[in-house]
Chain A
Amino acid sequence: MSETTSRSRTIMVVGGGIAGITAAVEAAEAGHDVVLIEKSPSLGGRVAQMNRYFPKLCHPTCGLEINFQRIKKSKRISVFTFSEVSAVKGGPGGYTVTVKTSPRHVKANCTACGDCAKVATSEVSNAFNYGMDSVKSAYLPHVMAFPMRYVVDPSVVGTPEGEAIKAACPVGAVDLEQKDESFDLEVGAVVWATGWRPYPAANLTAYRWTDIPDVITNVEMERLASVDGPTKGKIVRPSNGEAPKRVALIQCAGSRDLNHLAYCSRICCLASMKHAAYVREQLADATVDVYYIDLRAHDKLESFLNRLKRDPQVNFVKSKPARIEKSEAGGPVVCGENTLTREVYAEPYDLVVLATGMQASLAAEGQPSFAADFDDYGFVFAEGDSIAAGVASGPLDVSMSVQSATAAACRAIRAVTA
């Protein structure tokens, strides 16, 4: 950076999950201007997509709601949804960041009355529910979306349906003319808080997620169990809508595997304990078998694991299943070797949940060259000028993500005040 470049004290946070929100709020409350860039229509990230979250099995509203309030109250935070970073130039204290936005087709004066959705006729896949159901082409991303503003899907632009949607809005908030845009921002520091995506279950070919409907992933399980999910919170077999009697949870589906994610994703053992608890709370007769290599309950969360170990309807099988086969009736049959008894088994189940791990979003996007330094696993290597918060920096749970976000805010503040 040349001496003549002007320095900016503004901090940019990329990614509006729990980590990005925390970093933004902390920096703003310490007196800095913050730009928060979020790719999706709403803030909240993956936490918003949980049914409940440990340690206390809270609903995601606790945690998110208060932070949304803090953002609303703050005059220093500008939020850009539907936005991504496409280039970064300069250095610490003086970056020029190019931000690319795609159209929401709904302006800020939207009151979320929902009249547009009433006249929409076509449907689009519901990304919030991982495509397990669909939504109207004019939709609210989810019940606690922030900003609380509808989205009109680009597929209806230029159609009579689009015109009807526009006409239905009582405050004239629908704007079908919006286009992709690109603009530059001058900032002094960039915090990467881009989080994770579930490791694609389709890559785990031996587990047949793509062709056996009753094999689902752990993130899909969170949506199945949520009252605002595709089944209104009922845990059912996707194949026939019936309550499952025998459920299998398969740990390390892709994690700790040199062919997939080489590292332990750290939270999925406990996430599966949540799932065992969801099943046991809803379905009194159901049994749950947990297939594991070894069970990893980090920090003070071992008591949660022990609670489920005491439940006689939750069994633990020390084995990484070799494959899942399809029974004649089309259901999943889990096959492998029980490593404690050496028995080779083939067990039929009504529902199988794959505990897929967390893959760094930026790694999945091919590690953009303008982003920070990366470690061998594709997480941001947070050292020197490279600042990261939450799962962008490694597989963390919510409380660890929040801690790392506060640390990232401090480092960003130091970078812009140096």
Chain B
Amino acid sequence: MNAMSPTPSKAYDLNFARWVYENVDGGDRMALCMQCGTCSGSCPIGTQMDHGPRKLFMMIRAGMKDAVLSSNTLWNCVSCYNCVVRCPRQVPVTYILHDLAHVAVREGYAQAKESDNARFAKAFWWSAAKYGRTDERLVTAKYYFSFGVGEGIKRGMANQKIAMGMVKTKRMHLGMPHKVKNTGELHAILAKAAEMEAKKHGAK
């Protein structure tokens, strides 16, 4: 298995298509896609994707690496699984999009750093990795402040009322963050996983 996806020698490079078939989670089923459009038509936010899964899959087949890895389709998927349930060829669309998002992060594509969903995913993971739990309050704060201190405060103030409502109805708590019993063990497990991942893909 190749560590990184191949650097394209041209805009259309079939080596990228082959790499996706072999390395991306669910990529092996992509050859079965018959371009019917059920996935993109099923997507609740399909109109807000630049390409949508069906077209993205055709772009992968055509070897358009840069266009694929900088597509907002990878980031706008909300994991509703409508497409996976309905796809007549049982292509695991959601898995493929998520794994391609990982590839885009690993390979430093701009969308992967700047998109809203990437920021939120990072904040979510920060809490999950640190405490073994997601703490609504901290995840939200972390996400807001990823846009800068000024923007963070602005967004926080704008949503204060919602936050108070959530506290009142016990949907969000104030005190210490929730965490698992033994965070030390969790951190050791994650460190090991990161080490294995790095060996597999080569860190960047």
A interface list, Cβ under 8 A from B: 206, 252, 256-260, 293, 318-323, 335-339, 342, 344
Contact = CB atoms under 8 A, between A and B. Distances in A.
A256 B90 CA distance: 11
A9 to B, nearest CB: 47
Interface stretch (B3-11, B46-54, B115-123, B183-191): B46-54
Nearest to A322: B41
Interface string B160-195: 000000000000000000000000000000000000
Contact of A257 (B46, B52, B88): B88
A323 B83 CA distance: 11
Contact of A337 (B34, B52, B88, B89): B52
Contacts of B82: 322
A339 B36 CA distance: 7
A258 B36 CA distance: 13
A321 to B, nearest CB: 7
Contacts of B55: 339, 342
B202 interface: no
Contacts of B46: 337, 344
Q: Which 10 A-B pairs have the closest CB atoms?
A: A336-B41, A322-B41, A257-B88, A320-B36, A337-B41, A322-B42, A337-B40, A337-B37, A339-B37, A293-B36
B34 A206 contact: no
Given A337-B52, A342-B52, A344-B47, A320 B38 contact: yes
B88 A258 contact: yes
Nearest to A293: B36
A317 B42 CA distance: 17
A396 to B, nearest CB: 22
B88 A322 contact: no
B149 to A, nearest CB: 39
A335 B36 contact: no
* Most chain A Cβ neighbours within 10 Å, of B35, B36, B46, B55: B36
- The A interface is mostly helix, strand or loop, or mixed, namely loop
Nearest to B47: A344
A206 B40 CA distance: 15
Contacts of A293: 34-36
A252 to B, nearest CB: 8
Nearest to B35: A339
- The B interface is mostly helix, strand or loop, or mixed, namely helix
B37 A206 contact: no
Nearest to A334: B41
Given A337-B52, A339-B54, A344-B47, A258 B89 contact: yes
* Most chain A Cβ neighbours within 10 Å, of B34, B46, B88: B88
Contacts of B42: 206, 322-323, 336
Contact of B88 (A259, A338, A339, A342): A259
* Most chain B Cβ neighbours within 10 Å, of A257, A318, A338, A339: A339
A348 to B, nearest CB: 16
B182 to A, nearest CB: 43
A359 B96 CA distance: 32
B41 A319 contact: yes
A252 B52 CA distance: 22
A259 B90 contact: yes
A320 B90 contact: no
B86 interface: yes
A259 B51 CA distance: 25
Nearest to A255: B88
Contacts of A336: 37-38, 41-42
A145 to B, nearest CB: 38
B90 A319 contact: no
Given A206-B86, A335-B41, A339-B35, 18 more contacts: A252-B36, A257-B88, A258-B88, A259-B86, A259-B88, A260-B88, A293-B34, A293-B36, A319-B37, A320-B41, A322-B37, A322-B42, A322-B86, A339-B37, A342-B40, A342-B51, A344-B46, A344-B52
